[in-house]
Amino acid sequence: MTRLGRSPVLVTNPVVRFLARRLLYSIVVLIGVLVVVFALVHVVPGDPVRIALGTRYTPQAYDALRSASGMDRPLIEQFFGYMGSALTGDLGVSFRNGDPVTVTLLERLPATVSLAFVGIVIALLIALPAGIWSALHEGRASDAIVRVTSQFGVSIPDFWMGILLIALFASTLHWLPTSGYRPLFDDPAGWLRHVILPGLTVGLVAAAIMTRYIRSAVLEVAAMGYVRTARSKGLPPRVVTMRHTVRNAAIPVLTITGIQLATILGGVIVVEVVFAWPGLGRLVYNAVAARDYPVIQGAVLLIAALFLLINLIVDALYAVVDPRIRLS
C-alpha cells in the first residue's frame, strides 16, 4: 500500500505540514473575514435598492427591485446562500449591472498587481540603498539628508505627489501619459509607460516608510556583538556590512516589505483615482458607495486572500534568509 506508506512522510515533512497548517488557518481567517464583512455591510446605513433607483422613484419600483435582487430574504438565508456559492467560486452578481463578481475581480486584479509590483520594486530600489547607507553613516550629513527626505516623503499626501508627477512628466515634459492603464500582455511598452507614474507615487510613499525601517533595522544589527567581533577580527568593512549586518537585518526588511506590498494590493484608492487606474481600490470604493454588497464581499475576500498569500510567502522567506527560523 504505497499510498498509506507515503502519507506519514508527507505529514512529517515540516514544509508540507507548515503549508497545510497555514492553508487551513487561511481558510478559517477567510471565513471569519466573510462573516465580519457580511455583518458590517448590512449594519451600515444605506440601502442598495434606493441607490440603484436614484432620487426619483416610486414605492412600487422600490419593492419590485428589492425582491428581484433577493434583498427581501432573511439575512441569515442570504448569508448561507452566499457562503454556499462562494465555496464553488461563484461570488454572485453585482447588484448594479448583473455582472459576475468573480469576472469583475479578475478583470481588476492585473492592474492592482501591476501597480503593487512596480511600486514595491521602486520602493525597494530606493529604500534599501538609502536605508543602509543612512544607517552606516549614522549621524553624518548624508544620514540627515536621508532622514529629512524620508520624513518629507511620509508627510506628503499621495494625491498631491501624483498631481505633481503628472504636471511634471506628462503636462510639462510630455514623457509619459497622464493616466490610464494597458494590460501587460497586450501592450508591454504601453503597460510600462502607464504604470510608471502611479508606481512612482506608490513607490515613493512606501520608500519613505521603508527607508526608516531599514535604517533602524541595520542600526540595531550593527550594534550587535558579532558585528563588532567580525570587524575586530579584521574582516574588510564590505564583508562585514554585506554578510553580517545587512543579512541579519533582512528579517525586519522582509516584514515591512510584506506589509507594504499587502497594503498596496489592498487598493491604493487615492492613487487609483488620480491616475484613473482600474484597480481594486476604486472598485471597492464605488461598491461601498453603491452598497453593492456582492462586489464588496467578493473584493474584500480577494484582498484578504492576497494578504494571507503574502504572509505565507514572507514566512517562507524568513526561513530562507535565516536558517535558525524553523517552519513552526
Residues numbered 205 to 224 that lie near another protein (CB under 8 A) are: 207
- Cβ of residue 250: shortest distance to another protein, in angstroms? 21
Distance CA 110, CA 120 (A): 15
If binding is defined by CB under 8 A, does position 151 make contact with another protein?
Answer: no
Q: CB of 257 within 8 A of CB of 5?
A: no
Residue 25 or 175: which CB sits closer to another protein?
175
* Cell 505540514, residue located: 17
Binding region for another protein (CB under 8 A) out of 126-134, 231-239, 240-248, 296-304: 126-134
If binding is defined by CB under 8 A, does position 144 make contact with another protein?
Answer: no
Of the residues 2, 12, 43, 45, which one makes contact with another protein according to CB under 8 A: 45
C-alpha angle 241-119-191 in degrees, rounded to nearest 5:
130
Of the residues 19, 31, 113, 192, which one makes contact with another protein according to CB under 8 A: 192
C-alpha angle 278-125-220 in degrees, rounded to nearest 5:
120
Of the residues 33, 115, 176, 308, which one makes contact with another protein according to CB under 8 A: 176
User: What residues contact 199, with CB distance under 8 A and at least 6 apart?
Assistant: 114, 115, 118, 119, 121, 122
Which of the 8 DSSP states describes residue 134?
H
If binding is defined by CB under 8 A, does position 185 make contact with another protein?
Answer: no
Binding region for another protein (CB under 8 A) out of 3-11, 31-39, 105-113, 258-266: 105-113
If binding is defined by CB under 8 A, does position 311 make contact with another protein?
Answer: no
- Cβ of residue 56: shortest distance to another protein, in angstroms? 6
If binding is defined by CB under 8 A, does position 156 make contact with another protein?
Answer: no
Of the residues 33, 48, 265, 308, which one makes contact with another protein according to CB under 8 A: 48
E strand intervals along 2-124: none
Size of the site for another protein (CB under 8 A): 74
Distant-in-sequence contacts of 180-186, Cβ < 8 A, 24+ apart? 180/275, 180/276, 180/277, 181/111, 181/114, 181/276, 181/277, 181/278, 183/110, 184/110, 184/114
Distance CA 135, CA 122 (A): 20
Residue 88 or 185: which CB sits closer to another protein?
185
Of the residues 30, 254, 283, 314, which one makes contact with another protein according to CB under 8 A: 283
- How many angstroms separate the Cα of 33 from the Cα of each of 30, 228, 292, 305, 311? 5, 47, 17, 10, 16
- Cβ of residue 60: shortest distance to another protein, in angstroms? 4
Residue 277 or 307: which CB sits closer to another protein?
277
